[in-house]
Amino acid sequence: MNYFPDEVLEHVFDFITSHKDRNSVSLVCKSWYKIERYSRQRVFIGNCYSISPERLIARFPGLKSLTLKGKPHFADFNLVPHDWGGFVYPWIKALAKSRIGLEELRLKRMVVSDESLELLSKSFVNFKSLVLVSCEGFTTDGLAAIAANCRFIRELDLQENEVDDHRGHWLSCFPESCTSLISLNFACLRGEVNLGALERLVSRSPNLKSLRLNRAVPLDTLQKLLMLAPQLVDLGIGSYVHDPFSEAYNKLKIAIQRCKSIRSLSGFLEVAPHCMSAIYPICGNLTFLNLSYAPGLHGNKLMKLIQHCRKLQRLWILDCIGDKGLGVVALTCKELQELRVFPSDPFGAGNAAVTEEGLVLVSAGCPKLNSLLYFCQQMTNAALITVAKNCPNFIRFRLCILDPIKPDPVTNQPLDEGFGAIVQSCKGLKRLSLSGLLTDQVFLYIGMYAEQLKMLSIAFAANSDKGMLYVLNGCKKLRKLEIRDCPFGDAALLEDVGKYETMRSLWMSSCEVTLGGCKSVAEKMPSLNVEIINESEQMEFNLDDKQKVDKLYLYRTLVGHRKDAPEYVWIL
C-alpha cells in the first residue's frame, strides 16, 4: 500500500545506497519496483554473463555507474585460459547505442580492448570515472583515447592490469582544458612516460587527490609533482632511488613535508632503503601503507619506517618483514584493521618468510584486525586458536601456507581445529581461504559455524565428498565457492543442485567430477550455465560421461548460454 506520492518515495530511496538494500526494496511491490528502477544510478553486476546489457539498460534507464566483473577469481592464478571470455565491448556497444548517460565504469578481470576504450571515450559526454582492476587486452593507445576525449574525466585508476605499453604519449593527450582530474593511477604501466606532460597535467589539476606513479617516474620528477600538488591524499611513488647526500634528496624532503594530507602511501617500485627517512614526516598520518611491491625494503630500514606509522589501518607488506617485523607492527599499529603479507619469493627457498608466530603477534597487538591475507611458511592449530580468540572480528580470513598440504609442524595434525576455531569465533566471517593439511572435519566446522560466509576458497583439502556437502548444506549465505584439487565428485556435486541458483558461481578444477555429473546438473538446472573447460589434448571430443572434468565453472544466469565462448569451453 502506497500512501506517498512517488517523488517522496524516490527521495526516501535516495538514502538507500547499498546494492543489496536497493535490490530488496525493488522486491516489495510493483510500484516500489518501478520507482526504484527509475531512480537507480549505480548497478553492480558480479558476473557479466548473468545478465545482458540490453536487459540492464531496459530496467535502469537512469544508470550512471556500472561495475562489472568478468572472469572467475581463479583466473588470477592462470587457471583460466586467456580467451575464455569476459569481454567488455558488447556492454559498451550496447550502452553507447542507448540513451544511458554513463559516467562511471568499474571493471574487474575483464578483457578490455582499445576499441572498447575508444568507443567508451566517444560515447558518453559526461564520462567521469574509469577504474580497471586486473584487466587486460588494452594498450596505452586506449588510454590515449580516454585522455583525449573524456572532457570531464575525474578518475583514471588502473590497478594491476596487463597493459601493452606502447610508450606512447598518452599523458600528453589530456587536453590543456582538462583540469578536472581527481585521481590518476598508472602504477601498473611498465613503460616510459612523458615526464613533462605529467608535470603539466598535475599543475593544472588543482583537485588532484590521488596520484600513483609508475616505475619510470624518477625521484626528481616526484619532487616536482609534490611541490605542485601538496594537497594529495594518496600517493604512489614510482622510483625512489637516489643519493641521500644529493640536492635532489634535500628538495624532496622539503616537498614531502608540505604534503600534510597524505594518508595513503604505496609504490616504491624501486627503492634505495637508505633514503626512507625523508618519508618519516608523513608516516604519522598514514592510514594505508602498501609496500608489497618493494622487495628492496626490508630489515631494519623497514621496521624503522613502520615504527613511525602509528595510525595505520591497512598494511600491505612482503614477507621479508619476517616475524620480528610483524612484532614491530603489533607494537606500533594499534589501529590496524587489514593486513596483507605477500610472499617475496614464492618458489624460493623460503628464507625470508613469516610463520605462525608473526600472525599471533599481530593478533595480540592489533585487536581491531578484521581482514587478513597471509602467505606463510607454516601454521599451527595452536596459533590459529589463539588468533581466533584475540581477533573475533574477522570478516576476511585468507591464509595461504606455501606448501599447500602442510600439517601443523608441531603436532603433525591437520589444521582442522585451527580453522574450526576461526569460524566459530568470527561470527561475521564473510570470506575464507584455506590451506595446509585439511580433512573433511574442517568443512564440518565451516558448515556448522560459518553462517555469514559468502566466499570460500579451497585447495588440496578434504578426504571425500562429505567435505563439500557440509559446506553446501551448512553455509546458507554462500555465494562463491571455488575448489581446486579436492576429492569431490559427482555425489557431492549433485546432492543439491538447487543450491547453485542461490549462489553466484561454483568453480571446481582438478576434482573428481565427471562429464556425466556436469551434464546432469545442466539438465536439472536450466537457469545455470555449466561450462567445462578442456585444455588437455587427451580429452579431445570424447563424450564418455565417465570422463573426469578438468575445470568446471557453473553460474546462475538469466540469459542462457553465452555466445562468445571459445572452442575449448563446452557449455552443457
Partner 1 sequence: MSPPLLGVEEEGQSRVSSPSVECISQNGLGIREWNYLGLSDFCSVDSSCVPDDNGNNLNLKATELRLGLPGSQSPERETEHCFLNSGKLDEKTLFPLLPSKDGICSSSQKSVVTGNKRGFSEVKGTIYTEKKWMGHGAVPDSQSLQPVSHGKYSVAQAYVKKDGPANVVQEQPCTSNGTKVNRTDISNNSSAPTAKAQVVGWPPIRSFRTKTLTTSSKNNDEVDGNPGPGTLFVKVSMDGAPYLRKVDLRMYSTYQELSSALEKMFSCFTLGQCGAHGTPGKEILSESKLKDLLHGLEYVLTYEDKDGDWMLVGDVPWEMFIETCRRLKIMKSADAIGLAPKAMDKSKKDC
Of 200-259, binders to partner 1 (CB under 8 A) are 241-245
Q: Pattern 435-454, binding to partner 1, x per CB under 8 A?
A: --x-xxx--xx---------
Crossing angle of helices 219-228 and 195-203, rounded to 10°: 10
The Cα 524–Cα 78 span in angstroms is 30
275 part of the interface to partner 1, by CB under 8 A? yes
| Backbone angles phi and psi of 224, in degrees to 5 | -65, -40
36 part of the interface to partner 1, by CB under 8 A? no
Strand partners, 138: 163
User: Which range binds partner 1 by CB under 8 A, 139-147, 197-205, 307-315, 341-349?
Assistant: 341-349
* CA-CA-CA-CA torsion sign (428, 431, 435, 437): positive
* CA-CA-CA-CA torsion sign (18, 23, 27, 30): positive
CA distances from 490 to 494, 513, 531, 533 (A): 6, 5, 15, 17
HSE (side-chain half, CA atoms, 13 Å) at 218: 9
SS3 assignment, position 152: coil
Report the residue number, 101 or 487, with the smaller CB distance to partner 1: 487
Min CB(78)–partner 1 separation in Å: 5
| Backbone angles phi and psi of 340, in degrees to 5 | -130, 125
The cell numbers describing 457, all together, are: 576458497
Which one of residues 124, 342, 553, 555 is an interface residue with partner 1 (CB under 8 A)? 342
The Cα 429–Cα 456 span in angstroms is 10
CB-based contacts of 166, cutoff 8 Å, min separation 6: 139, 140, 141, 191
321 part of the interface to partner 1, by CB under 8 A? yes
What's at 177, amino acid-wise? S
The Cα 311–Cα 284 span in angstroms is 6
H/E element, 106:
strand 104-108
Which one of residues 87, 124, 375, 500 is an interface residue with partner 1 (CB under 8 A)? 375
The cell numbers describing 166, all together, are: 606502447
- Please give the residues from 552 up to 571 whose contact with partner 1 meets the rule CB under 8 A: none
Which one of residues 185, 377, 529, 557 is an interface residue with partner 1 (CB under 8 A)? 377
The Cα 351–Cα 199 span in angstroms is 41
432 part of the interface to partner 1, by CB under 8 A? no
The cell numbers describing 533, all together, are: 573447460
- In which region does residue 543 sit, left (phi positive, over 0), alpha (psi from -120 to 50) or beta (all else)? alpha
Which one of residues 47, 121, 221, 355 is an interface residue with partner 1 (CB under 8 A)? 355
181 part of the interface to partner 1, by CB under 8 A? no
417 part of the interface to partner 1, by CB under 8 A? yes
179 part of the interface to partner 1, by CB under 8 A? no
The cell numbers describing 5, all together, are: 506520492
SS3 assignment, position 372: strand
407 part of the interface to partner 1, by CB under 8 A? yes
Report the residue number, 509 or 557, with the smaller CB distance to partner 1: 509
164 part of the interface to partner 1, by CB under 8 A? no
Which one of residues 156, 256, 372, 400 is an interface residue with partner 1 (CB under 8 A)? 400
The Cα 194–Cα 155 span in angstroms is 19
Q: Pattern 509-528, binding to partner 1, x per CB under 8 A?
A: xxxx----------------
Which one of residues 70, 72, 85, 322 is an interface residue with partner 1 (CB under 8 A)? 322
- Please give the residues from 117 up to 146 whose contact with partner 1 meets the rule CB under 8 A: 134
HSE (side-chain half, CA atoms, 13 Å) at 529: 23
Size of the site for partner 1 (CB under 8 A): 112
- Please give the residues from 526 up to 555 whose contact with partner 1 meets the rule CB under 8 A: 535-538, 548, 550
H/E element, 252:
helix 247-258
86 part of the interface to partner 1, by CB under 8 A? no
The Cα 113–Cα 376 span in angstroms is 37
The cell numbers describing 160, all together, are: 594491476
Report the residue number, 265 or 462, with the smaller CB distance to partner 1: 462
* CB-based contact 493:530 (threshold 8 Å): no
Min CB(84)–partner 1 separation in Å: 14
356 part of the interface to partner 1, by CB under 8 A? yes
Min CB(11)–partner 1 separation in Å: 42
Report the residue number, 24 or 351, with the smaller CB distance to partner 1: 351
Which one of residues 43, 353, 518, 522 is an interface residue with partner 1 (CB under 8 A)? 353
- Within 291-409, where are the H helices? 299-307, 322-332, 356-365, 381-390
Q: Would you mind telling me the total number of residues written for the chain in this entry?
A: 572
Report the residue number, 6 or 157, with the smaller CB distance to partner 1: 157
- Please give the residues from 289 up to 318 whose contact with partner 1 meets the rule CB under 8 A: 292-293, 295-300
Min CB(527)–partner 1 separation in Å: 29
Report the residue number, 78 or 177, with the smaller CB distance to partner 1: 78
- Please give the residues from 457 up to 496 whose contact with partner 1 meets the rule CB under 8 A: 457, 459-464, 466, 484-487
* Closest C-alpha to 118, from 145, 139, 88: 145
- Please give the residues from 99 up to 118 whose contact with partner 1 meets the rule CB under 8 A: none
User: Which range binds partner 1 by CB under 8 A, 58-66, 172-180, 223-231, 431-439?
Assistant: 431-439
Report the residue number, 129 or 386, with the smaller CB distance to partner 1: 386
Report the residue number, 124 or 570, with the smaller CB distance to partner 1: 570
The Cα 98–Cα 445 span in angstroms is 49
77 part of the interface to partner 1, by CB under 8 A? yes
User: Which range binds partner 1 by CB under 8 A, 43-51, 73-81, 169-177, 494-502?
Assistant: 73-81
Report the residue number, 150 or 321, with the smaller CB distance to partner 1: 321
Maximum CA extent, the chain: 75
User: Which range binds partner 1 by CB under 8 A, 116-124, 304-312, 337-345, 556-564?
Assistant: 337-345
User: Which range binds partner 1 by CB under 8 A, 59-67, 176-184, 277-285, 347-355?
Assistant: 347-355
Min CB(12)–partner 1 separation in Å: 41
Min CB(426)–partner 1 separation in Å: 14
The Cα 95–Cα 299 span in angstroms is 51
